[in-house]
Amino acid sequence: MNPSLIALFVGAALASLFMAWVIGAGSSGATPFAPAVGANAIPTMRAALLVGVFGFVGAVTQGSNVSEAVGSGLVGGISLPVAGVILVLVLGAGLMAVGITTGYPVATAFTVTGAVIGVGLALGGTPVWPKYQQIAAVWVLTPFVGGGIAFGIASVLPRPDAPERYSVPALAGLVGAVLVNVQFSFLGRGAASGTVRGFSQRALAVDGLASGVVITGVAALAVATVVWWDISRDERGGLRRVLLALGSLVAFSAGGSQVGLAVGPLLPLLGEVGLVSSFAVLVGGGLGMLAGSWTGAPRMIKSLAQDYSSLGPRRSISALVPSFLIAQVAVLFGVPVSFNEIVVSAIIGSGAAVGGRKAVDAEKIVLTVGAWAGSFALSFVLAYAAGTFLL
């Protein structure tokens, strides 16, 4: 292989690692445990440690769907050249770095998606309108769906006719039911992904909808029973443990979603030359995110935990349940989604349910929404201009 081409590939790999570090230090590293830190359930540094570990596991076991969408599903008719990949990653990471420096949650999914589309169209690619519609629907609906679910849960938990020893186990059972039906790369037949439900059906030599429903119901009941027992014997400690478990699941989901933003543009290039496997790329991206979570996430965790809402354990649980559900939907459909948008919307919804307008900082919210919209527009314009004049 030409030495100059090798140098370009090395540059693309380094840019991807830098993007992974920025993601770990920003959106995926900060948002999953921000509600738990806000509720004083875990110190900031310990949260950064845990989110890095669970994010890495999620990246390796669930990262393929979003990676493929970012790598080849946003622009039709072309494959980005090495220089285009470097441009996309540098632009996305640069805008994210600005967000980390200022303390405002710039949306990684918006910046990377805008950069990929901008460079791809500048190089003669064609728009993939069905995928854009799918992405736009998720982005627009997330604040309303996530915030609305969080508002509803937070409105119910404090009610005397819905005590925590019953309502929280019911929520945990719902999460358990979803968890046994999400895709993991190591549970399918051969190289295919699979679910805990499907694996259990194969192990029990059963098949069909009825057995799947039974397995899902048993898993939900088992999780709900354990949580009910834990909260009944120690309510405060039980709520804290539920909160930490939810934060871990959201961190896991963040890794599965966000790693695609860092390594997705690389996959078509590496597939053409056969340098390394996609699994190895996901591992590298996961390690980059882990490093970012451990070294750069604490500042963003503190910003989200303290600035957006006055959170307690119940409101934090209310925020994390919809965050996990929306994240897994995005992973399933391969939609690049912003964890800042998911968790911040849920934090706002849960805080408003109890504290009303006093529980949220309206000015901060307006600035954050502006950063979300502006990050996509700015990255698209810069990428399109750079792709037109430099590539």
The answer as to whether 248 is a domain residue is yes
Phi/psi-derived region of residue 208, left when phi > 0, alpha when psi is between -120 and 50, beta in every other case: left
Q: Is the pLDDT of residue 308 over 60?
A: no
pTM greater than 0.75: yes
pLDDT grade, residue 128 (50/70/90)?
Answer: very high
Q: Which residues pair with 343 in a beta bridge?
A: none
Query: What pLDDT band is residue 75 in, cutting at 50, 70 and 90?
Result: very high
pLDDT tens per residue, range 333-358: 889 988 878 887 888 888 788 666 66
Average pLDDT over residues 169-183: 95
| pLDDT for the residue 104 | 62
Has residue 162 been placed in a domain? Answer: no
**Region of poorest pLDDT, from 108-117, 155-164, 329-338:** 155-164
pLDDT of residue 309: 47
User: What count of residues does the chain have?
Assistant: 391
- Which pLDDT value is given to residue 71? 85
Rounded-to-integer distance, Cα 112 and Cα 20, Å:
12
286 in a structural domain: yes
State the average pLDDT for the chain: 85
For residue 235, give both structure tokens: 């309510």
In which domain, by residue range, is 113 found? 3-155+237-390
**pLDDT above 70 covers what percent of the chain?**
90
Residue 99 neighbours by CB under 8 Å, 6+ apart: 26, 105, 106, 371, 375
Most confident region among 15-19, 321-325, 364-368 by mean pLDDT: 321-325
Check whether 307 has a pLDDT greater than 60. no
Q: Is residue 288 part of a domain?
A: yes
What are the counts of helices (DSSP H) followed by strands (DSSP E) for the chain?
17, 2
pLDDT over 90 (residue 280): no
Burial class, 377, CB count within 10 angstroms (exposed 0-12 / middle 13-18 / buried 19+): exposed
What pLDDT does 252 receive?
A: 93
Specify the 3-state DSSP secondary structure of 208.
coil
338 contacts 109 by C-beta, under 8 angstroms: yes
Does 5 score more than 90 pLDDT? no
Whether the CB-CB separation of 95 and 358 falls below 8 Å is answered with no
Distance from C-alpha of 46 to C-alpha of 51, rounded to nearest angstrom: 9
- pLDDT one-digit tens code per residue, 292-302: 888 878 877 77
Upper half-sphere CA count for residue 328 (Cβ side, 13 Å): 21
141 within domain boundaries? yes
Task: Return the amino acid letter for 155.
Answer: S
Domain contains 83: yes
pLDDT of 310 > 60? The answer is no
How much is the average pLDDT of 55-82?
89
Placement of tokens 């340098």 in the chain: 275
> Is residue 273's pLDDT more than 60?
no
- The domain tally of the chain equals 1
For residue 142, the model assigns a pLDDT of 92
293 falls within a domain: yes
Instruction: For residue 292, tell me if it sits in a domain.
Output: yes
Tokens encoding 189: 């037949």
Q: Backbone phi, then psi, for 126, in 5-degree steps?
A: -110, 145
Instruction: Tell me if 145 sits within 8 A of 324, measured CB to CB.
Output: no
> What's the pLDDT tens digit per position in 12-36?
888 888 888 888 887 666 778 877 7
Least confident of 77-86, 304-313, 342-351: 304-313
Q: How far is CA 31 from CA 28, 186, 297, 377, in A?
A: 6, 26, 9, 23
